[in-house]
Structure 1
Amino acid sequence: MGASSSTEQNVPTERREVETEAASAGALPMLQKAFSNLANPETNSVPIEKLQQCLNLVYKGQSDAGNRPELFAVLLDHWGSSIVDQFFVPTKGSINWVEFVRGYNKCCARTSASMSLNILLRVFHSALGRANVPLKLEFESDDADCKINGSLLPSHVLLLLLMCWSMSWDCRSLKPSEGKVNLSPPDLNHLVLSAISSCANIDSGFNAWDSDITSLEVEIPAGKFFTWVLSTIPCLSDCLRQYFHARLQVLFTAGDESVPPNSSAGDVSFTTCDNNVLTHGRAWAIALTQRSSINEEILDVCFPSSKDGVDDRLLYRSSAHGRGLNRFWSCVEGYKGPLLILVAASSGDIHEGSSIDRKWILGALTNQGFENKDQFYGSSGCLYAINPVFHAFPLSGKEKNFVYSHLHPTGRVYEPHPKPVGIAFGGTMGNERIFIDEDFARVTVRHHAIDKTYHHGPLFPNQNMLASLDPYSRPYLVGKGFDCCFINNWSRDEDTMNSMKQGIFPSLYYDRVCNKKLMGFLPTEASISEVEVWGLGGNVAKKVQDSYKKREELFTEQRRKVDLKTFASWDDSPEKMMMDMMSNPNAVRREDR
């Protein structure tokens, strides 16, 4: 038998090598069962059409779906064929056991993220070629680590992300016992805009809030796109490998069924129905940045099953639980696992004289729960610009000001230098990169120059524009594409102007009234519309918090109850004696003997 073990005598060297590689990954039993279910008993080989059907993505969706490109359905039809072309070399229209295992090893072997991404782009290029869609990608050789030249359009990037989303969804939804399911491809424009802003040459007037991804003709260089994926969403390169393995795993658990039931086939809705700040698309983007156990917890939010309690992970929502630090604290206190906090806010447009409010979302990921401290604490974390443009800002390793969360002192204690009350991330005390006030009404975002804990970058579009400049430097910077306003009492500084003429834009300017230098990048204050906190510590962290809350409720109830039997008569109590002495300390008292 082609799928039998290679412990027999006189096994060909080629077969022994591919089986050894598959066995090292623990996949050999699964491959043997999958091959037996797919293979033709007479020829002991897998027909190429059957393998393509196994690896194909087939969805029956609505024809009027608004948030998917027209080419998406066409690309799905050619996805399985493109995978087979990439990893298998069929012999006479079928694939034998050695070719089957070798193809699996090519796709699922442990390789670097860059090689996996290279392979993913090859499959994507092949699928578009089969659909007669031109794509300006050129691979210098057949090696998985070769250089990629050319460029992509924003519409191509969106197609690639939708395919990766579909594969990720398919991996977690494929179950032989299930029938029809619904697929809801999310809005992924924030990821496409991230690729555009990081890789393409766009003018200063580009508006991230009002841009149509499908109509943009901006070219994204392949090399820069490759770097952007590895630095921003490195887990994207794992989607193809996980999908390939999951499809064969279904064959392993499908009993005697020759072809796995396509749980993807069925009624499909292409409308996003989640109303949380953490939508499925935003959660998936955050999950692509994490390679730890947090990745799985966030993916459970992206792809919830009927048994999963997604609402159990939502610890706090300001619109449901009430605004303010006290309400927030009552919901998150006692949770000892990773937490994801999201802030949806709106601020005025930076253009002078504009009254347009721009909505944006930022987030912070902590590896531990919140604590009531008057100083920064924590061990790790990450900041996110989530909407309208997605960016991740991991730790820089220079400072450790990860998280700050401080409530009002419970007692009336005089503090000569009171510490800020609120929640903050990065920066220093009084100059936090993100600061949420105690009422959850305003959030202050400062320039990344004051923060050495997290990597540099804007937390919302145009944050890095100079907010206030003197009238002499303003015309020069406007000519360079900067949007500026100014304060009249700021004076021109000779060193500043000389630096600006050399292309250097310092952030300090001299104020003749205050007689001191001021930051050129002023903090942005925005109105908060919603705050969400998601617990990512799994069932264990949730059970620990539930136990903590029950214990606190028990202590509170015990403190409310007073047992009068434990107290003696008031006349005999030392409290009455002390009160009598205070009322008339000169009274003569005789000691009873």
Structure 2
Amino acid sequence: MSNSMSFNTLLRVYYVTAKNAGFSPKLEFESDEADCKINGSISVSELLVFLWMCWTMSWDGRSSKAAEMKGCLFLPDISHLILSAVVSCTDSESGNSLDVWETDVSGLELELPIGKFLTWALMTVPCLTECLSHFCNSRLQNVTSAEDGSGPSKSTAVDDSASKTSENTLLTCGRAWAISLTSKSTISEEILSSCFPGNSGEPNEHLLYRSYYHGKGMNRLWSNVEGYHAPILVIISASCKVEHEATSSERKWVIGAILQQGFENRDAFYGSSGNLFSISPVFHAFSSSGKEKNFAYSHLHPAGGVYDAHPKPVGIGFGGTLGNERIFIDEDFAKITVRHHAVDKTYQSGSLFPNQGYLPVEALVLDIEAWGLGGNKAREIQQKYQKREELFTNQRRKIDLKTFTNWEDSPEKMMMDMMGNPNAPRKEER
């Protein structure tokens, strides 16, 4: 079944559910065929309910695998997805006049044409339809387990306690879910594990680095991500002055990037693929354009203070070219520079935050997170690597006291005597 047909089926499920609940959705299906044309519109409030329905099915389909996830259903903040659909589906005048930082999505009274909504969904969240298959499969497995008497009982009571820990990070459950919906891969499944905390052993166990906890700077980051040779999701929170309707005000925004092979200390771009994300306040995903391969750049100061006549930038970059990166974070993690997509041929075009403009924007870095997406195996390999490095470091710090006890017989003293004695008679003759 094609993705468009899957979305038609998902919308039909929502339509029937909404009708049974007493609502009156403005959707019209021309026939009962899976690929039939859909007319009408969906309001912002209906879109919120529709996405929460999809979230609930995703939660149910995955929580059934863990008996300990009793009563963990919660509804995350998905305003970034709602605003993404609103900006994409409304005309340019309405979209430009909307202040996305001050907008309460629950109070928006807008009707989104269903055709434009489907176009947005296919481009932005193509994996949203997976929630229905997960839900159906889990229910069938539950029926089989119940007949065998081996299935655990589950409660669907709403409880926010499971979400509190994850909501304290930049990668909230709603943001992680949005990123996971952009592509179907093992990486998406790893991101989803942070959406559903009950599926993992400890909260935030995939969090490798956070500047709020570990401190800012390349060296602090490197001590936590070195040896992790697997995909890493980087989340950056920043603030800068943004122009909107002839007024300028300080605004916060969140962007992200995925490094497929983790961080490497190199003086050139590297990577075979990657993704950029505009996460908050409006969500958009930017995949590879296929034109260039300047996916990621991360460079530390050379060890030993080696002189370099043409030093390379020290920091982290994504897209663009050296010295003209689409995203660049300085070595102290104090400032981030975001440039227009015209300088970048690696990632698809688009603004990384609302009202970005054409000129380079320098913003204050508020927080940075690095999440490991390689599973437990990659984490175990990194821990072994870090233990070896710690052992080597301790060995280098040890001082062999025996080398200081035989100074009289040492070659160093003999050389000092040979250099010093020939001058002694000459000084006496003078």
| C-alpha contact 1:181 1:264 (8 A) present in aligned 2 | yes
Q: Which amino acid aligns with 1:140?
A: E
SS in structure 2 opposite 1:540? helix
Following superposition, the deviation at residue 575 of structure 1 comes to 3.4
Following superposition, the deviation at residue 130 of structure 1 comes to 2.4
Q: Which residue matches 1:277?
A: 170
1:520-576 Cα offsets, whole Å, 9 max, x none, are: x21111111111110010011001100000000110111111324367843444434
Q: Which residue matches 2:73?
A: 183
SS in structure 1 opposite 2:23? coil
SS in structure 2 opposite 1:368? coil
**Structure whose CA Rg is larger:** 1
Q: Which amino acid aligns with 2:249?
A: I
Q: Which amino acid aligns with 1:551?
A: R
Q: Which residue matches 1:248?
A: 140
Q: Which residue matches 1:373?
A: 266
Is 1:265 the counterpart of 2:156? The answer is yes
SS in structure 2 opposite 1:170? helix
Q: Which residue matches 2:215?
A: 322
SS in structure 2 opposite 1:350? strand
Q: Which amino acid aligns with 1:461?
A: P
Is 1:552 the counterpart of 2:386? The answer is no
Q: Which amino acid aligns with 1:187?
A: D
Q: Which residue matches 1:9?
A: none
Q: Which residue matches 1:385?
A: 278
Following superposition, the deviation at residue 441 of structure 1 comes to 1.0
Q: Distance in 2 between matches of 1:353 and 1:558?
A: 62
Q: Distance in 2 between matches of 1:179 and 1:171?
A: 12
Q: Which residue matches 1:209?
A: 101
Q: Which residue matches 2:22?
A: 132
| C-alpha contact 2:68 2:198 (8 A) present in aligned 1 | no
| C-alpha contact 1:278 1:342 (8 A) present in aligned 2 | yes
| Structure 2 CA distance for partners of 1:146 and 1:306, relative to 1, 3 Å | closer
Count of residues paired in the alignment: 422
Aligned counterpart in structure 2 of residue 528 of structure 1, from 362, 365, 389:
365
| C-alpha contact 1:348 1:354 (8 A) present in aligned 2 | no
Over the aligned positions, Cα root-mean-square deviation in angstroms equals 2.5
Is 1:305 the counterpart of 2:195? The answer is no
Q: Which residue matches 1:23?
A: none
SS in structure 2 opposite 1:182? coil
Aligned counterpart in structure 2 of residue 359 of structure 1, from 233, 237, 252:
252
Q: Which residue matches 1:563?
A: 400
Q: Which residue matches 2:237?
A: 344
Deviating more after overlay: 213-222 vs 176-185: 176-185
Deviating more after overlay: 557-566 vs 382-391: 557-566
| C-alpha contact 1:365 1:383 (8 A) present in aligned 2 | yes
Q: Distance in 2 between matches of 1:578 and 1:413?
A: 30
Q: Distance in 2 between matches of 1:432 and 1:424?
A: 6
Q: Which residue matches 2:316?
A: 423
Q: Distance in 1 between matches of 2:419 and 2:99?
A: 74
Q: Which amino acid aligns with 2:107?
A: S
With a CA cutoff of 8 Å and minimum separation of 6, indicate the structure with the bigger relative contact order.
2
- Gaps spanning 5+ residues in structure 1: where? 1-110, 466-520, 589-593
Q: How does 1:442-461 map to 2 (within 5 A)?
A: 442-461=335-354
Which has a greater percent of helix? 2
| Structure 2 CA distance for partners of 1:355 and 1:116, relative to 1, 3 Å | closer
Q: Distance in 2 between matches of 1:271 and 1:356?
A: 35
Q: Which residue matches 1:141?
A: 31
Q: Distance in 2 between matches of 1:360 and 1:225?
A: 24
SS in structure 2 opposite 1:363? strand
Q: Which residue matches 2:114?
A: 222
- Gaps spanning 5+ residues in structure 2: where? 426-430
Q: Which amino acid aligns with 1:174?
A: S
Q: Which residue matches 1:47?
A: none
| Structure 2 CA distance for partners of 1:559 and 1:269, relative to 1, 3 Å | closer
TM-score, normalised relative to structure 1 = 0.67
Q: Which amino acid aligns with 1:266?
A: A
Q: Which amino acid aligns with 1:292?
A: S
SS in structure 2 opposite 1:525? strand
Q: Distance in 2 between matches of 1:550 and 1:544?
A: 10
Q: Distance in 2 between matches of 1:439 and 1:419?
A: 15
| C-alpha contact 2:238 2:364 (8 A) present in aligned 1 | yes
SS in structure 2 opposite 1:311? coil
Q: How does 1:367-516 map to 2 (within 5 A)?
A: 367-463=260-356, 465=357
| Structure 2 CA distance for partners of 1:356 and 1:384, relative to 1, 3 Å | same
1:448-477 Cα offsets, whole Å, 9 max, x none, are: 1101111111111111x3xxxxxxxxxxxx
TM-score, normalised relative to structure 2 = 0.91
Q: Which amino acid aligns with 1:286?
A: I
Deviating more after overlay: 387-396 vs 408-417: 408-417
Identity among equivalent positions (%) equals 58
| Structure 2 CA distance for partners of 1:219 and 1:271, relative to 1, 3 Å | farther
